[in-house]
Amino acid sequence: MNNHVYWMLELDVQAGREHDFRALMKAMVTATENDEPGTLAYEWSISDDGTKVHIFERYADSAATMQHLANFGEKFAARFLEVLNPTSFMVYGAPSQEVRDALAAFGAAYMQPAGGFTR
């Protein structure tokens, strides 16, 4: 096993906010790619009708996760929650207690590693 922390966040796009969603997504992807070397994966997907979003995020470890959460809180949280409504938040891997505490307000649920491998 490794120290990765990863999650799948499912969200609804607020009615009439698809344009705002796309602008926000672009800004968040650019900032994360440029400023967070510990982010291993940051993938956004949207339903055909533009109403549902899935975000898959994977971090090298809890420190990288905390860096992302700090950047998110400082730069994007308010806009994010105006445009998107979280419906499910599943966290996997080895999050520290600090990460768990930081995610508590988002209603995160946790799945413990049980087997398998990562290449």
Residue 1 is predicted with a pLDDT of 66
Inter-CA distances, 34 with 68, 77, 111, 118, Å: 12, 18, 29, 25
Residue 47 is predicted with a pLDDT of 97
Which structure tokens are listed for 72? 């998110």
CATH topology for 5-110?
Alpha-Beta Plaits (3.30.70)
How, if at all, do strands 52-59 and 84-93 pair? unpaired
Q: What is the pTM of this model?
A: 0.94
Residues 6+ apart with CB under 8 A from 78: none
CA 107 to chain centre: 13
User: What average pLDDT is seen over the chain?
Assistant: 96
Q: Hey, where are the domains in the chain? A: 5-110
